[in-house]
Structure 1
Amino acid sequence: MNDADWSGAYDHEGGDGHEEHGKKDEEHGKDEEPTYEHGDSSDSTRPGPAGPPRIPLPRASVEDTGRPLPDVVRQQPLVLAHPVLKSLLGAWALAACSAEESLAVEAHLGECGACAEEALRLREAVGLLHPAESLDLDPALRTRVLEGCLERRPPRIPVPGWASAYDAETARLDALLQDFGDAEWHAPVRLRWFRADKATSRRTTVAGVIAHLLTVDGLVAVALGLDDPLGEVPAKRPTPASRTEAYWGAAHFPPTRSVRGPWREQSHDLVRTVSFTGGPAGALPVSYGDFELSLRDAMLDRAFECWVHAGDIADAVDYPYEPPSGRHLHDMIDLAARMLPTALARRREAGLCAPARGRSLRLEIEGSGGGEWVIPLEPAPALGIAPREVAHVALDGVEFCHLAAGHVPPEEAAAGQDGDRDAIRDVLFSVASLSRM
């Protein structure tokens, strides 16, 4: 029915409105009763002077009628004897009682001190039986699932073992970023590292950290013949820091969540490319500006930095983030241990280390991914002569990685130390000098 039909019904001045409706139905050739949008077809709901309005008025509240409010029927607790209530305490602590039994027990606990103390002990015992579990997935779950799948159906083009850590850490970071809103992408993050034995930091945002990873991963992309996210770089041997500053400075506005797409696509391209090129490509040199790494070690380095900065992002948004799996963590620690002799030599050339000809330090890493490494403090004076061990340092694996990332000052590293204190200090400061932006 259109508005004209309704207006005709309301404009009728005499009768009960039935004749007017009949005429309009005859004009439209309708034999059936008219239907109304809000109501039924009975006479009491048809609009007109004698009937109620087409849209019913709001129902009056019981408070507006002046009538007394109905009494609230409260459930009375069961009346049970004390021995019965005491026997129900265990089931109540396990939340296995019915609603009536729980009400009776809780009413009794307010009156009986002995039962209240027993109920408290039982509740604490239940908490020990059901410890709080994190809702976050085990970081090794992805590796286990993939290994199980690959045992049943090996891949036609497998990912090299030395690239699996990068594949896993980029996937974990991508999963962390998946549900971020605009506020999280602009959360402040402070990048930290050591330079000239002093703590250095640079303030950015979550999006800025992903832009940093994008530009430094671009060094590996360039070595593999892929596109550089910076386009044409004027410097012949740009460092990770200069590349990052160039990317940040080229944009008129700070990076936003749109940077996730290029970073994600580049990480997939890197894993896909090294999988196609295979094991022989692991020896390909990757330039970091002032030093070089083989492609095998560069992929481990990028996996390490991806994990470290993912932890920075997680701290910025107050979210827990677990370390890598033990196997990948061991590979990252091994890379840092192999880079230590070069770091010691550079510090010695700068006059920051004491001469230590023919001596070595035993580095013991505890926990997941741990092991032992003998770090030469300086090459032995003659071939075939093993360096004399003068010190022993023990560190937790995650603590060692945080030291290598510049997140822990060398003086505050929780290390077990035995032997030459100067050698130990030189090694701890050399580990911190491995960090960079």
Structure 2
Amino acid sequence: MTDHDAVRDLLAAWAFGALPPAERQSVPAHLAECETCAAEAARLRETVRLLDGPAMNGTPPPATSDVLSAALGARPAAPRVAAHAAPYAAAVAGVKALLPEAEGRWSTPVVHDWDVHATLAHLLAADEPLAGRLGIAPRVPATPVPEGMSWGEAWDRRTAEVIAHEHGRTPAQTVGDWAAQAAALLAAPEARVPELAARATELMGVRLPVADHYVVRAFETWIHTDDIGRALGLTVPPPPAGYLGQLVRLAVRVLGLALGPAAPPVLFAVDGDQQWVLGSEDEPVHGELALDPVDFCLLVGGRHTPDQVPHRATGDEGAVRNVLERAASLSWL
């Protein structure tokens, strides 16, 4: 790899203020001499500026948990994306705010058998299906999927493949690839034009409008940002209320589809949002269930179990338990 190629791989990390100390002089020096890389760096920096807004310009300083929480909690969405892509833009900005805290701690265990580096590599792999559907080339060369393999098996296989590939590279290079792919997703016409995002497509075994798949990406990005924060001993706040409501409403829709029309009906409420009747429309409500929105998302994201998630319930315990268990079964994260 030439010096030019090496710097090009680091441009997104530079734009996000996430370069390792060893590269903080070589990249600016190259940009001063290379017009092509300088133009690409300016484009990426503008994308980061739009993601961050005025409250987050520049690299966050080494932060205490309180300062980091304030930075993450204040993150706005990119002003040039449509409402359906705004939660993902905010989630990307949240990862960016957290990354400086991973410096020197990339091997910290996070979740499953992943360290911080592998968790970011997983996010790179997780964004790929939507990116590929929108015509964005993969950052990691892909191998053909055997015929007949289920989406779940293909998902696990690709995640392992990308993590193995990225563990052979530096964290800064992984940051660069993840950031560049995220920027491409947010620059795609489908992120900016609701009409283009209205078409349905099947990803991860679920057929949804492209707009909803952007919300799915926001959901997973936030869950893994929270995973990394917990591993590093830092508090990661939930998404801003409006975006959290979008995550909740999509999760409820998917949960309703998973339960099907024959399930015993349950009146389901999420604090601060609205109520839904899940299950059969032909019977009286069997029970009532209420959860906090963050707890509900953590249940759907596989971070709470039906037994441990805080909730309030009345009526038929079996019907309520069915909703909790089906919500927990939705997780693939």
Of 163, 183, 200 in structure 1, the residue corresponding to residue 85 of structure 2 is 163
Please give the secondary structure, in 2, of the residue aligned with 1:186.
coil
Q: Which amino acid aligns with 2:210?
A: L
Please give the secondary structure, in 2, of the residue aligned with 1:389.
coil
Residues 1:134 and 2:91 aligned together = no
TM-score by length of 1: 0.56
Q: Deviations over 1:194-225 (max 9, x none)?
A: xxxxxxxx211111011111111011111111
Identity over aligned residues, as a percent? 27
Of 182, 199, 205 in structure 1, the residue corresponding to residue 115 of structure 2 is 205
Of 353, 360, 363 in structure 1, the residue corresponding to residue 268 of structure 2 is 363
Higher helix share: 2
Q: Superposition pairs for residues 314-329 of structure 1, below 5 Å?
A: 314-329=229-244
Q: Superposition pairs for residues 18-417 of structure 1, below 5 Å?
A: 134-136=66-68, 137=70, 139-143=72-76, 158-181=80-103, 183-190=104-111, 202-235=112-145, 238=151, 239-250=154-165, 253=168, 256-274=171-189, 278-345=193-260, 356=263, 359-366=264-271, 370-378=272-280, 380=281, 387-417=283-313
Q: Aligned residues, how many?
A: 264
Q: Deviations over 1:26-52 (max 9, x none)?
A: xxxxxxxxxxxxxxxxxxxxxxxxxxx
Q: Which amino acid aligns with 1:211?
A: A
Change (3 A) 1:140 1:134: closer
Q: Which amino acid aligns with 1:168?
A: A
Correspondence for 1:102: none
Structure 1: tracts of 5 or more residues without a match: 1-132, 147-154, 191-201, 349-354, 382-386
Q: Which amino acid aligns with 2:94?
A: R
Question: Could you tell me how far 1:171 is from its partner in structure 2?
Answer: 0.7
Indicate the structure (1 or 2) with the bigger Cα radius of gyration. Answer: 1
Question: Could you tell me how far 1:262 is from its partner in structure 2?
Answer: 0.6
Change (3 A) 1:268 1:254: closer
Q: Deviations over 1:237-287 (max 9, x none)?
A: 754323202223456747734200010111111011146761112223343
Alpha-carbon distance between aligned partners in 1 of 2:72 and 2:244, rounded to the nearest angstrom = 12
Greater RCO (Cα-Cα under 8 Å, separation 6 or more): 2
Q: Which amino acid aligns with 2:182?
A: S
Structure 2: tracts of 5 or more residues without a match: 1-64
Alpha-carbon distance between aligned partners in 2 of 1:337 and 1:319, rounded to the nearest angstrom = 29
TM-score by length of 2: 0.72
Alpha-carbon distance between aligned partners in 2 of 1:245 and 1:430, rounded to the nearest angstrom = 26
Correspondence for 2:59: none
Q: Which amino acid aligns with 2:90?
A: A
Alpha-carbon distance between aligned partners in 2 of 1:276 and 1:339, rounded to the nearest angstrom = 21
Change (3 A) 1:375 1:244: farther
